[in-house]
Structure 1
Amino acid sequence: MKKLCLAVSILAASTSAAWAQSSVVISGILDGAVRYTTNSGPATNKSASLSQMVGGGMSQSRLSVAVTEDMGDGLKAIANIEHRLLLDSGTSAAGDFWRQAWVGLQSNSFGRITLGRQYNLLFDAATSTFASFKYSPYIEVFKPEIGMALTARQNNMVKYLVESGGLRFEAQVSAGENSGDIGQGKSIGALVRYAAGSFAGAYVWLQSEDQGGKKVTAQTMGASWTDGPLYVNMAWAQNKFETGYSLAGNVTLLGSINTAIISRNPASAATVATDAAAQVRDLFSAGITYQLTPQFNLGAQVWKGKQVGLVPGRGTGVLDAFAVVADYALSKRTDAYVEFDNLRTKGNVVISNGANTRTGYMVGVRHRF
């Protein structure tokens, strides 16, 4: 009887393996840096500088688990969970432990459909098509372009992707089933991307609602060109807010860690409603990366942001920023980098502590596994 049970088990296992091969890949990034930033004190002492270790300099530290099951005939089941952490403290980088959590199906015939918490199409286009740096899509601690991506991820999302040759189409839709989750409301959007040879370009339209049904409409368009060691990118992004859109989602010009720009530093809560509300925000960016040697890369990126307030003269202003990075590959998986960034504001927009300029210096090490 024992021999019979063993034989049946072996047969079942071998039969299953014939039509379904599964793989689980654990990967991640560990990035730590020392950073010095000027004009980072409280509003009462805004000129004070800040020295710190950051748990993600060029890239946010993360741990990812990706699952693929080959079910035959060109059909696969796919799934992914991703946790983002702060290397300096070992704590979660945000309140959501899993920054991504999705499952889906992929077919050679119909494309790919995924369900769950995922990157939105604005983030997809920026990181895959016109990334700010060839060796890193953006600088984690200084990322104006991601501040225009409507939180970059959204809950309750169904995303569809199909490709043919160099042409890619993506669509997303998400349900705003949690009325209190302002930044993760209903959404609908589409992406078109084309890549051929050295050129890649993309356009995205995405609309999201707050808990009151007020809409923000985002667009982004950009392209990149690669020629041997040279990489060039440029892009435009826009957020357009419907009158009455929740102030909690409309308080910053650019929502990056070190570019938290507000319409002004309000003297009292009573001024927030008129001074923080924007009607339209635009961001233009361009950059270049050059690979001097197989190990050594130099990159530079510039951003220019403009905000028009709902109330004339309130919340209106511009932002100018740039960053320079030198990156050296110590091995296939480990690199060291030096980074310098600067931002300046004009008009009725300021950094969150009331300053109009800020400069950052950073040295770090990053390992991918």
Structure 2
Amino acid sequence: MKKSCLVLSVLAASSLSAMAQSSVQMYGIVDGGVRYTTNNGADKSSRLVQVVGGGMSQSRLGINVNEDLGGGMRTLVNLETRINSDTGAAAGNPDFWRQAWVGLQSTDFGRITIGRQYNILFDAYTSTFASFKYSTYIDAFKPELGMSLGSRQDNMVKYMAEWEGLRLELQVSAGEGVTAATTNGKTVGGLLRYATGPLAVVGAIQKLDDAAGKSVTASLLGVGYTDGPLYLNAGWAKNSIDTGFNSTLNAGLLAGISPLAAPSNPAAAGGPAAVLAKDRTMYSFGGTYQLTTEWNLGAQYWHAKQAGLLSTMDGSADLFAFVADYAFSKRTDAYAEFDHSKIKGNLAFSNGASSRSGFMVGLRHRF
């Protein structure tokens, strides 16, 4: 009897130990803001006032699973859905889960993940030359993500390994069920990042094929520098597009800013989907400065240029954003943001306007 009790005690202790090695964590962001935008409507004089369900950050709810398998190996799982805090509706339908992946991580071979996840272009931006130190980009105004081929891909296998300051990432997705959506398609790409002291540099290239086998190739280079309260960043990105590449996807690649996805004369050009590019290029630079424990100030500039299949589709855009952020705590902050877009050449916003300004104030909580 005593032996049986001892065995049961050992088994119970082992079970508790195993349970302690696995963790499930719920996390999220709730962000709500009020935004005022000029030249936004049916005509150039229109003004738009709205409550946005994601100002600096898209509101989200996620689950992380981390299980220690022993021997330096772990199981990782992530499920994340985006929500609109202004309405409570799920954002990005029909894809309820904006991320859904499972993977293994080892101290010996690195990490491999399978499922819907961020692509290497998004990883490069956010890890190395994010627009703002305390918030990687402005969700309501994010021109840099217009160059990242949708930021996420379905059906992806991604590998990552790190050696001291060097990081390697590789991705491939099979492309089953390819549609015009930017998040689907056959992809292959790689990223190389090096960080030492206050400096980090990154380069990445990714190719996306549409249903007909036509491709867009995205490449980028970026650098980030942090010295105490000061953060500086600079980047270059280019999308090179095959003739005949899916027209809807071609026109929407810069949907993050939209100026280069709408002709100055939509009726004559056949509508926004007719604005087809041979290539798009974007340069960016900016910085963030932490004035006090509570106050952060940040500014960012982007210059985007499009070379169209026809000269009537050529154009460029200059964009600027400024943000003041006040931290009430480590989890709660308030922000005020201003952005401005100016379009040149043969392109314009869909209502014919060549400029647009936005003002936004909001509150964000992370948990």
Give the match for residue 53 of structure 2.
Answer: 55
The structural deviation recorded for 1:18 is 4.3
- What's the CA shift string for 1:141-171, capped at 9, x where partnerless? 0000011100000000000000000000000
Give the match for residue 99 of structure 2.
Answer: 100
- State how 1:142-291 maps to structure 2 within 5 Å: 142-183=141-182, 184-252=184-252, 254-256=254-256, 259-268=258-267, 271-272=270-271, 275-291=274-290
**Equivalent pair of 1:303/1:320 in contact (CA under 8 Å):** yes
- State how 1:79-94 maps to structure 2 within 5 Å: 79-94=77-92
Runs of 5+ consecutive residues of structure 2 not aligned to the other structure:
none
- Structure 1 CA distance, aligned partners of 2:82 and 2:328? 24
**Equivalent pair of 1:182/1:210 in contact (CA under 8 Å):** no
The structural deviation recorded for 1:253 is 6.1
**Equivalent pair of 1:166/1:195 in contact (CA under 8 Å):** yes
Counterpart AA for 2:349: I
The structural deviation recorded for 1:180 is 2.8
The structural deviation recorded for 1:266 is 4.8
Query: Using a 3 Å threshold, how does the CA distance of structure 1 residues 259 and 273 change in structure 2: closer, same or farther?
Result: closer
**Structure 2 residue matching 1:351: 3-state secondary structure:** coil
Query: Using a 3 Å threshold, how does the CA distance of structure 1 residues 17 and 352 change in structure 2: closer, same or farther?
Result: farther
Counterpart AA for 1:62: R
Give the match for residue 359 of structure 2.
Answer: 361
**Two-structure CA RMSD over aligned residues (Å):** 2.0
Q: Please say which of residues 58-67 and 265-274 is displaced more in the overlay.
A: 265-274
- Structure 2 CA distance, aligned partners of 1:329 and 1:173? 39
Give the match for residue 68 of structure 2.
Answer: 70
Counterpart AA for 1:298: L
- Structure 2 CA distance, aligned partners of 1:326 and 1:274? 36
Alignment of 1:298 with 2:303, yes or no, is no
**Equivalent pair of 2:263/2:269 in contact (CA under 8 Å):** no
TM-score by length of 1: 0.94
Task: Give percent identity, aligned residues only.
Answer: 54
Aligned residue among 319, 327, 332 for 1:321: 319
Counterpart AA for 1:133: F
Query: Using a 3 Å threshold, how does the CA distance of structure 1 residues 9 and 266 change in structure 2: closer, same or farther?
Result: farther
The structural deviation recorded for 1:269 is 8.2
The structural deviation recorded for 1:332 is 1.4
- Structure 2 CA distance, aligned partners of 1:204 and 1:99? 22
Runs of 5+ consecutive residues of structure 1 not aligned to the other structure:
none
The structural deviation recorded for 1:261 is 3.4
- Structure 2 CA distance, aligned partners of 1:37 and 1:273? 21
**Structure 1 residue matching 2:353: 3-state secondary structure:** coil
- What's the CA shift string for 1:65-96, capped at 9, x where partnerless? 00000010000000000010100000011111
Give the match for residue 129 of structure 1.
Answer: 128
- Structure 2 CA distance, aligned partners of 1:265 and 1:253? 18
